[in-house]
Amino acid sequence: MGIDRVEMSDAELVRRVRAGDTGAYGALVARYRDRLGRYAVHMVGDREDAEEALQDAFVRAYRSLARCDDPERFGAWLYGILVNRCRTVGARASRRRKLFVHEPESTAGGSTGADVVDRLEWDDAVNRALARLAPEHREAFLLKHVEDLEYERIAQLTGAGISALKMRVKRAREQLQRFLREAEHV
Amino acid sequence: MTRSLAAAVGVITSLVLFASSVAAQDLRYERLDPDTRARVSAVIDSARTVGLPTEPLIQRALEGVLKGAGSDRIVAAVRRLAVDLGVARSALGSGTSSAELEAGVAALRAGATPTVLAHLRERRHQSLTVALAVLADLAARGVPVDSAAAAVLVLAPIARDADLVEFRRAVERDIALGAPPAAATSVRLDATARAAAPGRP
Amino acid sequence: MFEHAEDELIERVIRQLRKPVAIDEGLDARVMREIAAAARPARQRPALVRRWPLLAAAAAVAGLVIAQPWSHGSGVRSDSYQFVLLAPQAASVALVGDFNDWDPARSPMRAAHSGLWATIVPLAPGRYHYAFLVNGVEWRRDPAAPAALDDDFGAPSSVVTVGGS
């Protein structure tokens, strides 16, 4: 009786939600929000749109939870929904000016003003370079190198073939280097 | 400044003001009737201006709405909480987290003095949320607040959060079995302090 | 194969992009509200929850880019907590509290056999007032938790404190 802290796997939480414990879905959202949010923010480029895509993905996942075949792999299934949401939202966002992602600088660590400026400039340069990639190249690069997924998995999420994906990643790497060299001041 | 530039500045300023007033419109406010909403917003805006956390204030208002309280009662509760958060912050220091402040309010309302809170801050170099909560919860179970405060201050430099929670549970069990609250506190304090002394594995 | 210097540059980019990104912690509540709203009959349903739709419209009209405030996103771990109430005669039990905006639709509890109602809620560190609402009308404190001392509204509440920072 009372309150107990519980360690629940994704599969158990999914089972509970399916059995009617809607509140338990909140635990899944809390678990995956930041991890998936990172992909959305870098893919979409605009924070507000990224959070909208993320919110959409969570809501759609809840509504189609009956179709999650393997609750043990809820996270991976959710990823697929998010990748699609980002494509839809991204297409809309590209028609508007974008705001770039800036993370708040921590005040710990005693950085000098110059350090902070350098970090912000690098941060900015990376974001701009990423934004200049074609969406399918950016998507493949992020899923492979930032989210660390295997090509087989990326193929399932995106519907593209593995060799096409490898080409896209290669292209993304080449272009990022070119854009970043162009942006260098020294 | 030329007229068109002044006009442009005017447009930008009003858009920024519009943006911030829209930003302040949390959709949860719609659960309050318009009069309550206006009065509660005023309290929350003042609190925000002095850097106090606003989430506890909103939650207090929402609790009042669900419990069917009248407007005056809801506004009074929100105001009282805002004031108490301010007192807690004066006692605990400006870097105090929202969770610590809320627990600090609970301790103050249980009868602990701001001095006790300040001493706790000096003696415990980690989050005070659990320590303050244990103080308040013991008082809620009937332990005289001075005994509860003294016990928590003794344990503050040496006990982990988990030890403090276990201490509280042990005292509550003893009280439930018929022990006088102050005596239960003192007995369990000795046991906990010995177990938590530095040097134990 | 890439030149070493070029690989290094890409590695720097990857390190940068792998850094944690702060997501507005309000997103959890927006998701749960949207889900709860869909569960209600249509005429009671509030407008779907979106952040700052008017702001976006204003910005589009003005053609201005208005800077976003920092979202200091949680980065804080939420652990899952199970709340349980024995109420064999109840037709419905909702858990309401500071962690779900006192909204009965957000954490409806699930009845097991033997009259035990339960639900799971993620809680970040903090101190939360809460109560059980039985059959939509009766307020019950949690018998196994400390009572909320400050009863502002004449109906019983309990308190739960989650440690951590």
Is the Cβ pair A26, C28 closer than 8 Å? yes
Chain A residue numbers touching C4 (CB-CB < 8 A):
none
Residue B32 and residue B119 in one domain: no
Residue C144 and residue C86 in one domain: yes
Compute the CA torsion angle C129, C135, C140, C142 (nearest 10 deg): -70
Distance CA B56, CA B100 (A): 12
* Percent above pLDDT 70 for chain A: 84
| pLDDT band for position A107 (cuts 50, 70, 90) | very low
What's the pLDDT at A184? 72
C121 within domain boundaries: yes
User: A1 pLDDT exceeds 60?
Assistant: no
Contact A29, C33 (CB under 8 A): no
The stretch A58-80 carries a mean pLDDT of 91
Domain ends where: B41, B75, B93?
Answer: B93
A59-68, A123-132, C140-149: least confident range: C140-149
pLDDT one-digit tens code per residue, C48-96: 344 433 444 443 333 332 222 222 334 456 788 889 999 988 999 999 9
Task: Provide the residue ranges of all domains of chain A, joining segments of one domain with +.
Answer: 7-101, 112-186
Rg of chain C (C-alpha set): 22
- Using alpha carbons, select from A109, B60, C152 the residue that is nearest to residue B52: B60
Contacts of B187 (CB under 8 A, 6+ apart): B174, B179
Residue B162 and residue B124 in one domain: yes
Burial of C93 per CB tally in 10 Å (0-12, 13-18, 19+): buried
Contact C39, A67 (CB under 8 A): no
Chain B residue numbers touching C162 (CB-CB < 8 A):
99, 129
Contacts of C155 (CB under 8 A, 6+ apart): B67, C131, C139
Burial A41-51 (b: 16+ CB within 10 A, else e): bbbbbbbbbbb
Number of other residues whose CB lies within 10 A of the CB of residue A116: 12
Contact C56, B5 (CB under 8 A): no
Report the interhelical angle of B145-155 vs B161-176 (nearest 10°). Answer: 150
C68 within domain boundaries: no
Which of B67, B98, B130, B163 is the best residue to mutate to test the C interface, defined by the most C CB atoms within 10 Å of its own CB?
B67
What's the pLDDT at C72? 31
Is the Cβ pair B66, C96 closer than 8 Å? yes
* Residue B70 tokens, joined: 């009248």
Task: Outline where chain A has alpha helix (H).
Answer: 10-18, 24-44, 47-63, 74-93, 113-132, 135-141, 151-158, 162-183
Is the Cβ pair B19, C55 closer than 8 Å? yes
The stretch A55-79 carries a mean pLDDT of 92
Distance CA A59, CA A25 (A): 10
Distance CA C123, CA B140 (A): 23
Residue C83 and residue C42 in one domain: no
- Using alpha carbons, select from A79, B190, B19, A2 the residue that is nearest to residue C117: A2
- CATH code of the domain covering residue C90: 2.60.40.10
C115 within domain boundaries: yes
Give me chain B's average pLDDT, please: 87
Residue B123 and residue B192 in one domain: yes
Q: Is A48 on the interface with C (CB under 8 A)?
A: yes
The stretch B170-178 carries a mean pLDDT of 91
CA–CA–CA angle B5, B9, B11 (5° rounding): 115
Q: How far is CA C84 from CA A47, C20, C148, in A?
A: 38, 35, 18
What's the pLDDT at C49? 40
Chain B residue numbers touching C152 (CB-CB < 8 A):
60, 63-64, 69, 73, 76-77, 80
Q: How many domains does chain C have?
A: 2
Number of other residues whose CB lies within 10 A of the CB of residue C65: 11
Residue B102 and residue B16 in one domain: no
User: B100 pLDDT exceeds 50?
Assistant: yes
What's the pLDDT at C55? 41
The stretch C27-48 carries a mean pLDDT of 66
Q: Is C152 on the interface with B (CB under 8 A)?
A: yes
Is the Cβ pair A126, C17 closer than 8 Å? yes
Chain B and chain C touch, per 3+ beta carbon pairs within 8 A: yes
Which of C6, C9, C28, C31 is the best residue to mutate to test the A interface, defined by the most A CB atoms within 10 Å of its own CB?
C31
What's the pLDDT at C58? 41
Chains that touch C (3 or more CB pairs under 8 A): A, B
Distance CA A102, CA A93 (A): 17
C54 within domain boundaries: yes
Domain A7-101 has CATH 1.50.40.10: no
ipTM of this predicted structure? 0.83
Is the Cβ pair A22, C20 closer than 8 Å? no
Distance CA B64, CA C155 (A): 10
Which of B66, B75, B92 is the best residue to mutate to test the C interface, defined by the most C CB atoms within 10 Å of its own CB?
B66
What's the pLDDT at A170? 96
Residue C96 and residue C32 in one domain: no
Q: Is B14 on the interface with C (CB under 8 A)?
A: no
Residue C47 and residue C118 in one domain: no
Distance CA A141, CA A165 (A): 9
Q: Is C126 on the interface with B (CB under 8 A)?
A: yes
Q: How far is B72 from chain C (nearest CA, A)?
A: 11
Domain A112-186 has CATH 3.90.1170.50: no
Edge-to-edge, what's the strand order for the sheet holding C116-123?
A2-6, C79-86, C116-123, C110-111
Q: How far is C152 from chain A (nearest CA, A)?
A: 23
C74 within domain boundaries: no
> What are the backbone angles phi and psi of residue C93, rounded to the nearest 5°?
-135, 130
> Which of B124-133, C2-11, C118-127, C143-152 shows the highest mean pLDDT?
B124-133
Residue B170 and residue B200 in one domain: yes
C69 within domain boundaries: no
Domain ends where: B49, B71, B93?
Answer: B93
For chain B, the straight-line distance linking the first and the last C-alpha, in angstroms and rounded, comes to: 72
What's the pLDDT at B147? 94
Q: How far is A66 from chain C (nearest CA, A)?
A: 15
User: B11 pLDDT exceeds 70?
Assistant: no
Residue C57 and residue C86 in one domain: no
Chain C residue numbers touching B162 (CB-CB < 8 A):
163
Is the Cβ pair C122, A26 closer than 8 Å? yes
Give me chain C's average pLDDT, please: 75
Number of other residues whose CB lies within 10 A of the CB of residue C47: 9
Distance CA A7, CA A11 (A): 12
What's the pLDDT at C48? 39
Residue B107 and residue B193 in one domain: yes
In this structure, chain A runs to a length of 186
Q: Which domain holds residue C119?
A: 79-162
Domain ends where: B50, B76, B93?
Answer: B93
Contact pairs from chain B to chain C, CB under 8 Å: 114
pLDDT one-digit tens code per residue, C104-152: 988 888 887 788 998 888 888 889 999 999 998 899 999 888 888 777 8
Distance CA B80, CA C103 (A): 23
B6-10, B128-132, C99-103: least confident range: B6-10
Distance CA B27, CA C30 (A): 10
C17: nearest CA partner in chain A: A146
Residue B162 and residue B199 in one domain: yes
> What are the backbone angles phi and psi of residue C84, rounded to the nearest 5°?
-135, 140
- The single residue listed with the structure tokens 């303050």 is B132
Q: Which domain holds residue B13?
A: 1-93
Residue B100 and residue B124 in one domain: yes
Residue B86 and residue B167 in one domain: no
Q: How many domains does chain B have?
A: 2
> What are the backbone angles phi and psi of residue B182, rounded to the nearest 5°?
-65, -40
pLDDT one-digit tens code per residue, B12-70: 554 444 434 433 457 888 899 999 999 999 999 999 999 999 999 999 999 999 999 99
Residue B137 and residue B38 in one domain: no
User: C46 pLDDT exceeds 50?
Assistant: no
C154 within domain boundaries: yes
- Using alpha carbons, select from A182, A147, A153, A133 the residue that is nearest to residue A37: A147
What's the pLDDT at C64? 31
Q: Is B51 on the interface with C (CB under 8 A)?
A: no
